[in-house]
Structures are given as C-alpha cells and as structure tokens.
C-alpha cells in the first residue's frame, strides 16, 4: 500500500502564535500536514510541547509571551535558529471572553463590570502581541526578500456585540492594525492578509455550560485549515490585503476565477 504524502508546502517555514489549542493548533496541524515546518508557540512550554507532539514531526515547540518584547525577540530568534528563516507568520494568539465572564454567551455583562486587569490582558495579548511579533518578524522577511503574514480576526458583529468587552474591541483593533500593516507593506515582497473563521468555533474559549443547541452551531476549528494552507502556497503569491472568511473560503476562491 502506497502512502500519499502531501507536500504542497514543502520547504515552507511557519510560525503560528497561540497554537497550543483551538484554531491555532488546527492551523498548525494543517500546515504541517501539507509539508510545512511549523513553530508552535504558547506561553506555556508544556502546552507548546504537547501541541507540537500532536501536530507531528514537522512541528517545533517554542514558548514565549507575545506581550513581552524581549520574550518575543528570544522566541523568534529560536525559530530562526531552528528553521533558518520564516516564510509565514500567523498572528493568532488571543484570550477569549471566558477570562472576564465565564458565562458570556448566556449572561452577557456590561463593560463597566470588566476589571482593568482583565481588559488589559485581552487587549495586550491580541493587539500588542500581534504588533510585537509582526514588528520582530517582518523586517527579517523584508531583508530575506519575501514572506507572508496572516492575522486572525473575527466577525464584525462580534466586535460590537453586547457584553463582548474587551474581546470585541481587541478584534477591531487587531484588524485595523493588520490593514495598516498591509498598507505599509504595499509594494514590498511581503504579503499581509486577514483570516477569520466566520462564526464561533468549538474551542476552549466557549463556556462549558453552553446549550446543546448553541454548541451544535459552532464551527469546527479545522475550518481554518484549507485557507491557511492556500495562503501559504504558491497559489497565493500575489494575494495581499484580503479579508478571507474561512467558512466561505471555497466560494470566495471560486469567485476569484482560475489563476486569480
């Protein structure tokens, strides 16, 4: 029996932040399954190692806090030391609403009940983390002559949903940053795009007591697999400043037409 090995991304070197669970791990797994070498990052070394073991032989565990500039620099240095470079950065690290309101889906709380610590933790991880990692990696990509950055966002309705402070504002801020990043990179060999699931996903960010009806509507994290592999592939070499909804990816790609 012959085993078919997927090598669409053979030679591609990727870093996925916040990849120890949920959509981050799903994207890391999809990239590795397509032949890429993938650095799996988490704040926790144990969680990073566990995720890398699950992702497979093409995965590298790297532990650093995306909110800490020195830690980011050391973590990125470690990845470059292991891989010799990076072709793809996936800005995914984030903290969900459970940290400020464990029942946020069924019992939304007003913004004035959110603690300043909870607010800062969510914003710092998603927004400052995306900035710090991108600021560290992108200049190296420019020097190397190319690279791709994919920033994970969320539905616009989630950004302004009742009871979703600070998670919603963190998504709005990181999306604005990603668009500015794309504008700054226009005319360079580095491409920057946005990717979002297109709905709530079945990850550890949703409440444990979610009703069966609501849980049945959740997207599987694997929905991010096909679009992230495509964005890392030669087919997406000219794609820049796009906002891609994973749930609608097949239709979006078809609408682009052959060779687009």
Catalytically active residues are 167
Query: Which distant-in-sequence residues (6+ apart) come within 8 Å of 55 by Cβ?
Result: 19, 25, 28, 29, 32, 38, 40
Question: Residue 150: helix, strand or coil by DSSP?
Answer: strand
Whether 174 contacts 163, CB under 8 Å = no
What letter would DSSP give residue 218? P
The phi, psi pair for 152, rounded to 5°, reads -85, 125
- Select from 136, 143, 148 the least CA-distant residue to 89: 148
H/E stretch holding 220: none
């Amino acid at each position: 029996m012959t085993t078919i090995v997927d090598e669409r991304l053979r030679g591609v070197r990727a870093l996925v932040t916040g990849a120890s669970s949920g959509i981050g791990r799903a994207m890391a797994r999809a990239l590795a399954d397509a032949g890429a070498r993938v650095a799996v990052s988490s704040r926790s070394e144990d969680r990073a190692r566990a995720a890398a073991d699950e992702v497979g032989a093409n995965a590298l565990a790297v532990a650093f806090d995306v909110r800490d500039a020195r830690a980011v620099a050391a973590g990125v240095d470690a990845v470059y030391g292991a891989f010799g470079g990076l072709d793809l950065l996936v800005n995914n690290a984030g903290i969900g609403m459970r940290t400020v309101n464990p029942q946020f889906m069924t019992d939304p709380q007003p913004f004035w009940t959110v603690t300043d610590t909870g607010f800062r933790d969510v914003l710092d991880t998603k927004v400052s983390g995306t900035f710090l990692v991108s600021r560290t990696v992108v200049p190296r990509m420019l020097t190397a002559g190319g690279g791709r950055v994919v920033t994970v966002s969320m539905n616009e309705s989630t950004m302004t949903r009742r009871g979703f402070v600070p998670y919603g504002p963190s998504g709005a801020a990181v999306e604005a940053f990603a668009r500015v990043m794309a504008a700054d990179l226009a005319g360079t060999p580095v491409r920057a795009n946005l990717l979002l699931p297109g709905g709530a996903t079945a990850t550890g960010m949703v409440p444990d007591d979610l009703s069966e009806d609501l849980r049945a509507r959740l997207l599987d994290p694997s929905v991010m697999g096909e679009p992230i592999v495509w964005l890392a592939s030669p087919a997406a070499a000219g794609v820049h400043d796009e906002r891609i909804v994973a749930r609608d990816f097949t239709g979006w790609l078809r609408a682009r037409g052959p060779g687009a």
